[in-house]
Amino acid sequence: MEIVFLGTAAFEGYPNPFCNGEHCLSAISSSKNIDKRLRSAVLIDNRVLIDFGPDIVASSQKLGLNLSKVELLLITHSHEDHLYIPNFAMRQRAFNNKFDELIDMTVMASDDVMKKIIESEYSVDAKLILKPVAPFKTYEFGEYEITPVPANHYVGENEKGLLYLIQKDSKTLFYATDTGPFDNLYAENLKNKVNLNKIDLLILDATLGFTQSEYLGHNTYESFLQTLSILKTHDLLDDSSTIVAHHFSHHHNPNFHELQELYSRENILVSYDGMKIKV
């Protein structure tokens, strides 16, 4: 699998255009694109898209990508930086010169997210195949096996966020944002309910960075490392696994090169917009 990071920021982007904080002012004045982050999404093999936030147009233009061949869209949850429902209108005839040639796109999401999509006018006649999914069940899609698992992230009273295990050609990608720390029970469920042997590529939430925040919906640097330790204890990660820190808030995270210096001490990669990685 080849993974392209379309965006790597948290809800407010990086820099937040209304913020005069140190990190935002540094990013604004930087001439390096690597210091500027759009809201998070990734593209796999030009066929599978994870999340559909408000920056999908900007990121596609920035990276010179055409998403017309995307066959599967996975939605983690309905927070607006991960699902901007008016995006679906771009697939409607009124906004697409090649509508007749546009392939159907399957959308996988929780029941609660799917209800919001169905209720929207933007999803009408957009060549969508809507497939609600449930945690710990595996769904086949071509050569991919897709297994949603619960996120440790508050969305709303009725909605539970999802993370996605994606398996292809004996390789496993675990896309795990937005989420807080995993405990031993969570790791045991990955082994027993999913029958997971090893994660080859882990893309893990690092939103809260270098802060002492106790908000459980995201990881700090410390809880990021604690999560890795738990996964390694349960033999879900080993020295051959690739680990990527992802989804950064400007509040708690310095520029890319400072992050890279800090995370590289633990052999962890830091995501950036346009980053490509193979597994």
Beta carbons within 8 Å of 249's beta carbon, 6+ residues apart: 9, 10, 11, 12, 14, 207, 208, 209, 218
Res. 158 pLDDT band, cuts 50 70 90: confident
pLDDT at 2 over 90: yes
Report how far residue 227's alpha carbon sits from residue 185's, in angstroms, rounded to the nearest whole number. 12
pTM for the predicted model, two decimal places: 0.97
pLDDT of residue 212: 79
pLDDT at 267 over 80: yes
Residue 105: Cβ within 10 Å count: 20
pLDDT at 156 over 90: no
**Structurally, how many domains does the chain consist of?**
1
| Cα-based distances in Å from 184 to 112, 162, 199 | 28, 18, 16
Structure tokens at 267: 């052999």
In this prediction, residues 176-186 reach a mean pLDDT of 96
pLDDT of residue 213: 74
Instruction: Summarize pLDDT for 118-136 with one digit per residue, the tens.
Output: 999 999 999 999 999 999 9
Report whether 3 contacts 201 (CB < 8 A): yes
State the CATH number of the domain containing residue 16: 3.60.15.10
pLDDT at 96 over 80: yes
Residue 48: domain span: 2-276
**Is the backbone of residue 152 left (phi > 0), alpha (psi -120 to 50) or beta?**
beta
User: In the predicted model, what is the mean pLDDT of the chain?
Assistant: 96
Beta carbons within 8 Å of 198's beta carbon, 6+ residues apart: 172, 235, 236, 237, 238, 241
pLDDT of residue 47: 98
Report how far residue 79's alpha carbon sits from residue 109's, in angstroms, rounded to the nearest whole number. 13
